[in-house]
Every structure is written in structure tokens, then in C-alpha cells.
Structure 1
Amino acid sequence: MSRILGGNDWYHILLWFLTYSILGWVVESAYMSLCNRKWTNRGFARGPICPIYGVGALTVFFALNAYQGNRVQLFIMGALLATFIEWLTARIMNRVFGEVWWDYKDKPFNYKGILCLESTIAWGFYTLFLFGFLHTVVERIVNVIPFWIGRILGVVLVIGFSLDFLYSLYVEKKDSLPDKVTEIRDMIIDRIWR
């Protein structure tokens, strides 16, 4: 297997990404369900994957791995990097969907409701938790999966999530799609059902 990003291979990086994405979805959905006192799916798609957690965790892990010996520096850099990821995600969501799925306007020291000091501080503590405990657990989870099962599982989850995401995106944006996209969709459906 070819090695990338600190000597890690694509197989492990993909399965770490999927594990963080699923764990993030579980934690956030459970937390919001408790807050709302009803089931709340915090992912965009229907399935139990929230890829921003995979992207965030791995970006922080690979970008800050060299600093894990200095907890103060790791805390500060983790808080800033994760806050930047949150800001970038909000910008992308606003551009694509016309909305952001969180609102910090009621929090002190917030910026346009998409960032707040409380979350920035929390990201710093999450970074310490990631390096001190969580990544070791995620590595162990991935390492107990037999390689051939992990490959199949990884491919199935990526394809399943991609289809789920594309369908959810279509449902969300179908009213604003250009007529040409609708014509192509209708032509494909017509050819399939002939």
C-alpha cells in the first residue's frame, strides 16, 4: 500500500475518516435529541455519517501531530484550526444551501451566529481529547477489522454515503435546478424504464 500523510496508507485514512464521521454523527445526534427531547438526525443525508467530523478530526490530527508534545500550543492551535474549519463549513453551506445548520447568535462573543468563543474553547479541549485518547481508540477500532472486510466496508460506506448525499442534495435543491438538469434526469429515467 502506498504511504501518505505521515506514513499512513489510504486504507487506514479512509477507515479513520468513516469512523470519525460516524462517531461525530452519533454524538451530535444524541446530544441534539436530548436537547430537543425528540429524535434529531444531525447529518445532512439520511444515513449515520457526518463527514465534517471526519474532515475536522483528520485535518487537526495531521496538521497538528508535530505539536502533540506541547499541550498549551496544541490547545491553541486546535481551537483556531477547528474554528477555521467551522467557519469554512458555514460559508460553503450558506453558498450551497442558503443556510447554516447551527446558530450561535444567543451565545456571547459570537460572529454572525456561525462562530462563538464557547465553541472555539471547546474545539481546543476536543483537540487535546483527540490526541490524548480518541485517536488511539479509533486506530484500535480500525485495526481489529480484518483487512478484506475493511476494504469492502469502506467501499460500501463511501458508495452508500455518496448516493445518500446526492439524493439528499437533489431533494434539497430540485426546485432550483436548471431545466436542462431536469430534462437529463427525465431522459435517464425514461430509458431505464423502457
Structure 2
Amino acid sequence: MEYRIYLAIGTFFIYSVLGWIIEELFAAFRYGRFINRGFLNGPVCPVYGISMYVVLNVLSDFGMHPVWQIIGAVGIVTLIEYITGALMYKVTGRRLWDYRDMPYNLNGYICFTYSVMWGVMAVIAMWLFQPPIYIFLHLIPRGVFRALVWGVGIIFIMDFVVTMAASLKIKFKGGPVTEVANRVGDVRRNAGKQIFDMVQHRMYTSFPELKNQEPSEERGFGWVREKTFATGMCLEKLIWMFLVSGFVGDFVETVYMLTTTGRIMSRSSLLYIPFSLVWGMGGALITGVLYTLKERNNFYIFLGGFFFGGVFEYTCSALTELVFGTIFWDYSHIPFNLNGRINLLFCFVWGFLAIFWVKVLYPAVSRQIEKIPPVSGMVLTYIIMFVMILAVLISALALGRYVQRKRHPVRQEVIGEFLDKQYPDSMIEKVYPYMKIVK
């Protein structure tokens, strides 16, 4: 019980720091200059830490439907944000944030747009950030972790006392408390400046024309004129084709299962996102490989899709069996199959899909991708890929633990118990209904 308190405090500080980083990144992109965000001197935004602590303790039940988790998170963060904003205004006479110019706001402390955004972000953090944070905290030796919590906690309290005293116009006559608060403030300014410099460097590298524009609160770093996002065949275009292919593939397979079995069944590769990694990687690779054939006869594109699709599907099946000891599809019952991993019929399907993709779907999707504003496109690409990487890692951890449970008795260490509780057999089997474990 005692150590759980340390874990709760550690989790609070981690999300408070992550919240501050989010605020700094947002300010850098939004205003094009360095701004010290947050109320305290230190690099923390406690409202994020408090909100996530409540969300994790109230909504982390794996049996709760995701829609209810999102609705609950929106309600929790909205209530905490309103109380915090109103209380700080009452105590200090200042608004730490002001939504009075936003539609559907309440006294400027909360508004519909940001409430929904913070709620969705809280649930995403619960799904994708909390598992690695939990594992990381349990990898730290307990004695070291206790010392860290005490040290950070004392500094946090000193910072809070000095900041509140300044807000209430209570003057400290120097002393260690003020000295600590000042040093913490220096840490925040230096860290915030480095975050801004990183963003500025990335912006100027990607969009050199912004160097000649003066940043402003209305335009941030400036406007990128006469430049198209992800033009031609480039890494950003392939990343977006990966995303589109993965979501479309999951939808196609779900519809196929509905028409053949009469049931809606999950065909996703990931626990929390309806996304097919096989379709996503296949779409991106076929785009990159067959892009040069777009002007050629359909027969050549068909051959490319036929052979490349077959090799790719076989490789994916073999790798998942090698890494996880599982099989996600089995074509042994279909004529002209090769080890149950591929079959002649589906190779023909890959060939015809390649023609449709290269000639019809890719040009249409490519035009829509290139309409995305350049700066927004770059930022979205990084955010989406970061989320996807976390989703893949967490799904792999949960799947690996599931296979361990099924094969032989597992050790009940802390991390294993967390994975067992967070991702029980019922959840794994619902997401991967056709998965077979290789004995």
C-alpha cells in the first residue's frame, strides 16, 4: 500500500511534465516564439497530472467500452479544468487560460472544443502511454524511486509555496526556498528554450522560406506559400498511404467477414485502433514499388501485385509465427495454397488490387493528401506515427504475454500481473478471433 502511494505520486509528476511539454510544443507552433507556459516555476503543469491520476483510477477498467471511457474522460477533465481555472482566478486574480473567445465556453474556463480534445487525449494516454510508464516505474529500484519521489516532491512544494506567495503578494526575504524556486525556474526556461529551438530548427529545415518571415501570434512562424505537402513520391506520402491502406484494409476485411459469416468480427492488428498492419505495409510497399509502372500496361502492374503481394503475405505470416508463435490466417483449406500462408486465388486478388490501387485509388488519395497544409501535414505525420508506434509496441507486449499464459504457467511478477489484468484473454481473443498458437 505504501509503495502504491509512491507510484501514484510518480505518475502525477510524469504526466505533469508531459503536459508542460505539450503546452510548450503547442505554444511554439502556435505563436512562433518561446513562451513560458504553466503557473509554477518548474517544468510542470499539475492540472495534467491531477486529471490523468483521476482518469486512470476511474476509467482504467478494461471491460468498459471505449466510447464510455471517452465520455467519462471528457467529463473528468472538464470538471477539473473548470475548478482549477476558477480557483486560481479567485486566489490570484489572473486567468491562466481564457476561452471566452471560443464557442460554447463557460465563463472562459472551459469550452466544448478543448474539453473534447483533452478528453480524447486523456483516453489515448491511458491506452498507449500508461502501460510503458507503468513498466518503466517498476523497472526502477524501489529505494532509488522513493528517493526520487521525495526529492522531486520537496522541490515541487517549495516551488508551489514561492509561486503562491508571489501571486498573493507575500514577500520572501531570500532563503533556501526562494533559491530553489529560482533554480527550478531556470531549469524550466532552459528546457522550454531547447524545445522551441528544436521546433524552430525543424520548421526552418522543412520550410526554408519561413526564415524570412517575422513570427506573430496570428500566423505563428508564418505562412508557407506555393508549396505542396508530400508532393510526388516521398516518405511523407508513403506514411500516409500506409495509414490509408491500413484503415481501408481493416474495413474491407470486416465487411468480408460480415458477408461470409454473418457476424461483425475484429480483423485489426492492434488492440485499440481498427488498423491492419499487413494491409498498411502492403499498400505502402506496393505504392513505392509499383509507382514507376503507373503509365505501363495493366498486365505489368498485375504481375507485380501478383508476385509481390504473395511474397509479402507469406513473409508476414512466417514472421508472426517466428516472433509470437502465432498464426493469424490459415489457407490450408483453400486449393493451391503454400503451407497455408498464401494461395493462388488471393495472389490473383493482390494482382487486381494492385491495378485498382495504382490506376484509380492512389491518384485520388494522393491528390487529397497534397491538399493538406504543409505545416499541419508535417506535424500530423509525426504525431500519428508516434501514436502508431506506441500502439504496435503495446499490442505486441499484450500478445506476447497472452501466448506465454497459454503455453505454460507464467511467473507472477509485477509487470506480468499488470499485463494480465490490463489485457486479459477475453480481450485478446476478441481482437484476434482467428489467431492460433503454434505448439
- Specify whether residues 68 and 54 from structure 1 end up closer, same or farther in structure 2 by C-alpha distance, changes over 3 A only: farther
Matches within 5 A, 1:122-161: 122-161=117-156
CA deviation digits over 1:60-89, x for unaligned, max 9? 111222366301111111111110111111
Question: What is the RMSD of the two structures over their aligned residues, measured on CA atoms?
Answer: 2.1
Which of residues 52, 56, 61 is equivalent to 1:57? 52
Q: Deviations over 1:36-71 (max 9, x none)?
A: 222222221211122111111001111222366301
Match of 2:97 in 1: 102
AA aligned opposite 1:152: A
Q: Which runs of 4+ in 1 moved over 6 A?
A: none
Match of 1:11 in 2: 6
Amino acid at match of 2:87: I
- Percent identity, aligned pairs only, is 27
Match of 2:78 in 1: 83
Query: C-alpha separation between the residues in 2 aligned to 1:148 and 1:16?
Result: 17
- Comparing 76-85 with 36-45, which one deviates more in the overlay? 36-45
What is the deviation of 1:144? 2.7
TM-score, reference length from structure 1: 0.81
C-alpha contact (below 8 Å) 1:49/1:161 kept by paired residues: no
Kindly tell me the number of residue pairs found equivalent between the two proteins: 175
Please give the secondary structure, in 2, of the residue aligned with 1:135: helix
Q: Which runs of 5+ in 1 are unaligned?
A: 190-194
Structure 2 distance, partners of 1:67, 1:104, is 34
Q: Aligned equivalents of 1:29 and 1:173: distance in 2?
A: 26
Are the structure 2 counterparts of residues 111 and 130 from structure 1 closer, same or farther at C-alpha, using a change threshold of 3 Å? Answer: same
1:47 has 2:42 as partner: yes
> Is this contact kept in 2: 1:68–1:74, CA < 8 A?
no
Q: Is there any run of 5+ residues in structure 2 with no aligned partner, and where?
A: 176-439
Give the Å deviation of 1:95: 1.2
* Corresponding residue of 2:371: none
- Check the 8 A contact 1:14/1:154 in 2, yes or no: yes
Cα distance in 2, alignment partners of residues 98 and 106 from structure 1: 19
Q: Which has the higher contact order (CA 8 A, sep 6+)?
A: 1
Q: Say whether 1:116 aligns with 2:111.
A: yes
- Which has the greater radius of gyration? 2
